[in-house]
Amino acid sequence: MAMTHAIVLIEAERDALPRLGEVLAGIDGVAEAYSVTGEWDFVAIVRVGDPEQLADVVTGQIGQLPGVTRTRTMVALAVHSRHDIERLFSIGG
């Protein structure tokens, strides 16, 4: 089964910064969440089964979290890794 991978950049209100990373990491479909420096406050790596699930995770969940002010999503066209990502995330692989 092919997966949909995306990188989501997240801007947050200052008072949400201490708790938002843990909340993001707890969302089903968010594989990893990073606190980062620069224009954005967090980067979430999202891995889901199809584009409809991606829309639910990004707009239905991440975008609705208290303190999230803006997101930007980049959908991966191909995954390049030294690790076999598809095998790691497939069931019974």
In a 3-state reduction of DSSP, which class is residue 57?
helix
- Judged against a pLDDT cut of 70, whether residue 71 lies above it is answered with yes
Give 37-58 pLDDT, tens digit per residue: 999 999 999 999 999 999 999 9
pTM equals 0.84
Q: What are the residues facing 71 on neighbouring strands?
A: 10
Give 18-38 pLDDT, tens digit per residue: 999 999 999 999 999 999 999
What pLDDT shows up at residue 32? Answer: 96
- Judged against a pLDDT cut of 60, whether residue 85 lies above it is answered with no
Which tokens belong to 20?
A: 């938002």
- Judged against a pLDDT cut of 60, whether residue 17 lies above it is answered with yes
Owning domain of residue 75: 4-89
In a 3-state reduction of DSSP, which class is residue 11?
strand
Count the domains in the chain.
Answer: 1
CATH number, domain containing residue 15: 3.30.70.920
Half-sphere exposure of 47 (CA within 13 A, CB side): 15
In a 3-state reduction of DSSP, which class is residue 17?
helix
